[in-house]
C-alpha cells in the first residue's frame, strides 16, 4: 500500500545533520532567530518553557520531543522571568556542549537538540503539509533515535552521513505519525487520519499519472463531490486539484534532477499527455521550463 507520508519524506531528502547537548540552570532564557531549516529537540531531564512564534506556549518535560519542520523564531527559557539572550542558530559553535544561565553545577534541564537540511527543491511545498510545531510526549522510540543521532554526530565513522540521513528520516516519520489525528492542524497528517479522505490521497500518490477528477476522488472517498471538495480543502488546507498539481510537480522536479529521462517521459509519469502541456504547467508552477530546470540542476 502506498504511504503518502513516506513519499513526502523521501522527496524531502534530509541531510547535513548537526546535534549537540544543551542545558540550562537558574534564571535563563534564549531567543532564537528565524532559522528556516528543520530542527528537533529531546528533553533528557528536567523541564523548561518553549514559545514558538504563532503558537501557544508549551512546557517541555523529560521524555518530550519537539520537531519544528521550518523553525520559525522561538524562545526557550526556565520558569523565572528573564530578558532572553538573542542567538543566531547558524552561528552556534559546532563543538562542545551549550550551557545557558548559571554555569557549572547541576542543570535544571538537559536537552539534546539539533538541526538538518532538506535537499528537495520542493521543500517549502512539502513542509507546508506539516504542522509548524510537532510536540510529542512519552514516545521512547523518539528519545532513542535522538540519542543515536547524537552519538553518530560525535563520531567520524565510515558511512556516517548515510546513517544520519536514515536516522533523521525515521525521526520525521515517527514524530509526524505520533501527532496525526483529528485535532492536527490542516495538512497531510490530518488528511491521512480521516478514514474517508485517506484512500483518495493514497490513490493520488499511487497513480499521479492518472487523469483524476474531483468526482472520481469523491467516489473513492464514498462522499458526494461537493462534500469531498469542502472536506478535503478544510482538512488539508488546499483544494484537491491544487494538492494533486503540487504533488505532480514535486515528482517532476525530482525526476528532472535525478535522472536522464526525456521531457516527454517525465510528462507521462506525472499525468500529462504531451510534453508541451507539461512544459506549460511546469513553467507556470516553477517559473522556468523543464529543460532549463534539468540543466540547472
Q: Cell digits for 68?
A: 519544528
Domain boundaries, the chain: 4-179, 189-296
| pLDDT-based confidence at residue 275 (cuts at 50, 70, 90) | very high
The answer to whether 30 and 77 have CB atoms below 8 angstroms apart is: yes
pLDDT value for 235: 92
Q: Which residue has the cell 518530550?
A: 64
DSSP string, 237-296: SS-HHHHHHHHHHHHHHHHHHH----HHHHHHHTT-SSHHHHHHHHHHHHSS-HHHHHHH
- Enclosing H/E stretch for 113: strand 109-118
What Cα–Cα distance (Å) separates residue 223 from each residue in 200, 243, 253? 11, 18, 32
26: left (phi over 0), alpha (psi -120 to 50) or beta: left
User: Going by C-beta distance under 8 Å and a sequence separation of 6 or more, which residues neighbour residue 118?
Assistant: 12, 13, 14, 15, 37, 38, 126, 127
In this predicted model, which residue has the larger pLDDT, 164 or 154?
A: 164
Average pLDDT, stretch 54-81? 93
Hey, is 160 helix, strand or coil? helix
Task: Judge whether 200 and 46 are in contact, CB under 8 Å.
Answer: no
Cα(53)–Cα(72) distance, integer angstroms: 6
**Confidence category of residue 214, pLDDT binned at 50, 70, 90:** very high
Grade residue 76 by pLDDT with cuts at 50, 70 and 90. Answer: very high
CA atoms within 13 A on the CB side of 272: 21
More confident position, 205 or 297:
205
Of residues 257, 260, 287, 284, the one with CA closest to residue 272: 284
Model confidence over 181-208: pLDDT tens digits? 666 677 888 888 899 999 999 999 999 9
Return the SS3 of 59. strand
Q: What is the pLDDT of residues 244-266, one digit of tens each?
A: 999 999 899 989 987 788 999 99
> 140-153 and 160-179 helices cross at what angle (nearest 10)?
160
- Name the residue with higher pLDDT: 89 or 240: 240
152 has a pLDDT exceeding 90: no
Model pLDDT, residue 173: 86
Task: Quick: pLDDT tens for 78-133.
Answer: 999 999 999 887 676 666 788 999 998 899 999 998 888 888 777 877 787 778 88
Grid cell in block for residue 263: 521531457
If we measure between CA atoms, which residue out of 34, 111, 11, 117 comes closest to residue 65?
A: 111
User: Which class would CATH give 189-296?
Assistant: mainly alpha
Per-residue model confidence (pLDDT) at position 66: 93
Copy the grid coordinates of residue 147. 540519542
CATH topology of domain 4-179: Jelly Rolls (2.60.120)
Residues in the chain: 297
Amino acid at each position: 500500500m502506498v504511504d503518502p507520508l513516506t513519499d513526502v519524506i523521501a522527496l524531502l531528502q534530509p541531510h547535513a545533520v548537526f546535534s549537540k547537548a544543551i542545558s540550562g540552570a537558574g534564571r535563563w532564557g534564549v531567543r532564537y532567530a528565524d532559522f528556516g531549516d528543520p530542527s528537533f529537540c529531546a528533553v533528557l531531564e528536567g523541564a523548561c518553557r518553549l514559545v514558538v512564534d504563532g503558537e501557544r506556549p508549551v512546557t517541555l518535560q523529560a521524555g518530550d520531543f519537539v520537531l519544528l519542520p521550518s523553525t520559525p523564531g522561538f524562545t526557550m527559557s526556565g520558569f523565572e522571568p528573564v530578558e532572553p539572550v538573542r542567538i543566531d542558530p547558524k552561528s552556534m559553535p559546532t563543538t562542545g556542549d551549550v550551557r545557558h544561565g548559571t554555569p557549572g553545577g547541576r542543570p535544571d534541564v538537559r536537552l539534546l537538540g539539533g538541526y538538518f537540511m532538506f535537499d528537495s527543491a520542493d521543500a517549502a511545498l512539502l513542509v507546508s503539509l506539516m504542522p509548524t510545531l510537532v510536540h510529542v510526549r512519552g514516545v521512547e522510540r523518539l528519545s532513542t533515535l535522538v540519542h543515536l543521532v547524537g552519538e553518530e554526530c560525535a563520531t567520524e565513522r565510515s558511512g556516517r552521513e548515510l546513517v544520519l540521513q536514515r536516522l533523521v528520516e525515521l525521526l520525521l516519520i515517527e514524530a509526524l505519525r505520533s501527532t496525526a489525528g483529528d485535532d492536527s492542524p490542516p495538512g497531510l497528517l490530518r488528511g491521512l487520519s480521516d478514514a474517508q479522505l485517506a484512500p483518495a490521497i493514497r490513490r493520488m500518490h499511487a497513480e499521479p499519472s492518472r487523469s483524476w477528477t474531483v468526482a472520481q476522488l469523491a467516489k473513492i472517498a464514498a462522499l458526494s463531490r461537493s462534500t469531498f471538495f469542502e472536506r478535503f480543502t478544510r482538512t488539508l488546507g488546499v483544494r484537491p486539484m491544487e494538492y494533486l498539481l503540487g504533488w505532480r510537480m514535486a515528482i517532476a522536479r525530482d525526476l528532472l534532477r535525478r535522472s536522464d529521462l526525456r521531457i516527454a517521459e517525465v510528462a507521462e509519469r506525472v499525468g500529462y499527455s504531451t510534453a508541451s502541456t507539461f512544459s506549460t504547467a511546469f513553467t507556470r508552477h516553477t517559473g522556468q521550463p523543464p529543460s532549463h530546470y534539468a540543466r540547472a540542476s
